[in-house]
Amino acid sequence: MVDIPSPSFDALALAAVACELRAHVGARFAGVRQVAPDAIVVSLGGGRHAHHLFCSIHPRVARVHLAARPEATERLAPFALLLRSRLAEARLAAVEQPPFERLLRLRFDALGGPLVLAAEVMGRHSNLILADARVVLGALKVVTEQMSPRRPVLPGRPYLPPPADRPRPDTVDAAALDALLTGDTPLEQRLMRGLLGVSPPVAREIALRAAVDPAAPAGSARAARDRIEAVLRELREVVRRAAFAPTIYEAQGRPVAFSAIPLAAYAGLEAHPAASMSEAVERYYRHAAAADPLDERRRALGSAVRAALHRTEAALASNRQALAESERADRLRVMGELLLTYGSRVRPGQTALAVPDHTAGGAEVTIPLDPAFGPAENAQRLFRRYQKARAAARAIPARIAQLEADARALREALVQIEAAGSADDLWEIHDDLAARRILRRPPRTRPRAPAGPRRWRTAGGAVIVAGRSARENDHVTFHIAGPDDLWFHARGAPGAHVVLKGTPEPSEADVTAAAGVAAYYSEGRRAAQVAVDCVPRKRVRRPPGAPPGVVTYEGERTLLVAPALPPSPPQAGTGRRRAARSEA
């Protein structure tokens, strides 16, 4: 495919959406839904005629547009609860968007007075803010002074719009344009960085309409300044007259771009007019970026787990070194005793004393001294270090054991995160680690329908059940599995607990299928073959005091299988009762 700029929800797209929203001025606020931690849906109107405004502040796919009613939602976060409370019985009074700025202001007439819901669609700086006539009431992303000394966003502070640090295409003058057309930076990059509200596709469009190579140095385009200025006037007129023509672009039947006006930058793609800007945006993100929210959650949780594993392994190395040093503590006691024996040899200001060591056959040993203290005081300091080292030696092994268990749990969590197939899978893993205090922050919200362990039905009528987290592994092994059910786990590697239920004498095909599931949900899932242990569940034990998911077993049979899932899709689990969830 020809190189094309990635689509962007830019100021032109936002202006087109603002035009669509103005048709709903006067509509009543009809509720709010939380579709993701960084996205909400505000409903306007009511009943079958309700309209739903999707607002996302995701750093890579931030956008605002009308959308279909969301099917799956999460529990309302504090900002969504604030909107539900403050906008009750409110009506949309006005929709404002400063030209070429990625800022949308929705003004509401609320019971307590006028309110403004400001959507700032600015990449990683995106935010959704509710303010009254005086101050910020709340934000989907609170920004502290430490995060942004220039522009904190905090409840109780005055609301300040994002700073306009560059000229807009409709206000740029000849002198400012001349200043842009200098240097060796490619023209499209210079336009994008030097003009407010100009995205990569629009910057390329300006160059192409002015008959200039977008990749040419900006300084070489000075002769085309008048043509570039004319293109900027065209864009200004599009915005002023709201002459938008929303377009969706496809390649091989798949949406790959969208724009508020037809763009020559996408001339190599198949263009289709869209009924509205919202339809074009929603269609693109529904098809081209459907996996982004789950992938983003997987990356975020994986990053947190890897950081925790790095800290745990560093602490483990430090404690192992301290244990090795504590095992040499007896030398401190011996040196203290020798110092008391030969203290008469110490002279004022002396920093070391060499004496024969009776515990080493009379070999000479050098004892360090602090010249500020006498022989007796130096000996007492050595004895105190000895007692401290002995105390540490008693505590360190337990600490090492705990750190080793935490590191094992984190490595297993990385395997579970990679295999997670839904937001609920990731929530289960995160909640498990937070309950064990391995991760500091618990997950914010859980998807509405808990999925429970993964399940498959085999051709022979048996049921394969696989856990998704350490606690769920524990639940599968000791609550779902019967004593005579077969239990599977990848040999010597992190992975899921898998059980085979339903038939007293399962076929070899069913056993191999269950072993394949255990191999698939293990650290060796990318290997051609994985060794998997199989044993009746009654031979599996949880060691006293061990955390969930840690077991011992005996009498196992080891199978060498390829990682694979059964051909039938996994069935939704029945979840776990709250009492069972509290195991930790």
For residues 108 and 179, membership in a common domain is answered with no
Residue 250 lies in a domain: no
Q: Give the Cα separation of 570 and 577 in Å (integer).
A: 21
Residue 284 lies in a domain: no
Among 203, 220, 244, identify where a domain stops: 244
For residues 415 and 517, membership in a common domain is answered with no
Residue 484 lies in a domain: yes
Q: Which two tokens stand for residue 529?
A: 């073959």
Residue 164 lies in a domain: no
Q: Give the Cα separation of 118 and 26 in Å (integer).
A: 18
Q: Give the Cα separation of 548 and 429 in Å (integer).
A: 12
SS (H, E, C) 78-89: HHHHHHHHHCCC
pLDDT of residue 104: 97
pLDDT of residue 285: 87
Residue 332 lies in a domain: yes
Whether 83 has a pLDDT exceeding 80, the answer reads: yes
Q: Tell me the average pLDDT across 155-174.
A: 88
Alpha helices, H only, 87-224: 174-180, 187-194, 200-209
For residues 394 and 306, membership in a common domain is answered with yes
pLDDT of residue 568: 66
Q: Give the Cα separation of 556 and 489 in Å (integer).
A: 10
Strands laid side by side in the 136-139 sheet: 91-96, 103-110, 113-120, 127-131, 136-139
pLDDT of residue 575: 47
For residues 461 and 577, membership in a common domain is answered with yes
Using the 8-state DSSP alphabet, how is residue 129 labeled? Answer: E
For residues 459 and 410, membership in a common domain is answered with no
Residue 278 lies in a domain: no
For residues 181 and 94, membership in a common domain is answered with no
Whether 559 has a pLDDT exceeding 90, the answer reads: yes
Q: Give the Cα separation of 290 and 296 in Å (integer).
A: 11
Whether 101 has a pLDDT exceeding 90, the answer reads: yes
With contact defined as beta carbons under 8 Å apart, do 531 and 560 qualify? yes
For residues 406 and 345, membership in a common domain is answered with yes
pLDDT in tens, 9-37: 999 999 999 999 999 999 999 999 998 88
Residue 259 lies in a domain: no
CA angle at 136 for the pair 135 and 137, rounded to the nearest 5°: 110
440 phi and psi, to 5 degrees?
-75, -40
Residue 112 lies in a domain: yes
Judge if pTM exceeds 0.85.
no
For residues 456 and 573, membership in a common domain is answered with yes
Among 215, 244, 273, identify where a domain stops: 244
Q: Give the Cα separation of 415 and 467 in Å (integer).
A: 12
For residues 229 and 308, membership in a common domain is answered with no
Q: Could you tell me how far CA 126 lies from the centroid of its own chain?
A: 16
pLDDT in tens, 343-388: 888 888 888 888 888 777 778 888 899 988 989 999 999 998 888 8
Q: In 10 A of CB 348, how many CB atoms? A: 6
Question: Which CATH number characterizes residue 119's domain?
Answer: 2.30.310.10
With contact defined as beta carbons under 8 Å apart, do 41 and 54 qualify? yes
Among 367, 396, 419, identify where a domain stops: 419
pLDDT in tens, 228-266: 999 999 999 999 999 999 999 998 888 989 999 999 989
The closest of 125, 129, 154, 126 to 139, measured between CA atoms, is: 129
Relative to beta strand 352-357, strand 454-457 is unpaired
Three-state DSSP at 426 gives helix
For residues 130 and 15, membership in a common domain is answered with yes
Domain of residue 473: give its range: 451-581
Total of domains in the chain: 4
Element (H, E) at 113: strand 113-120
pLDDT of residue 440: 79
The closest of 95, 101, 106 to 128, measured between CA atoms, is: 106
Q: Which two tokens stand for residue 33?
A: 């839904």
For residues 408 and 513, membership in a common domain is answered with no
3-state helix, strand, coil in the chain (%, to 5): 40, 20, 40
CA angle at 343 for the pair 341 and 348, rounded to the nearest 5°: 170
pLDDT in tens, 499-526: 999 877 899 999 999 999 999 999 888 8
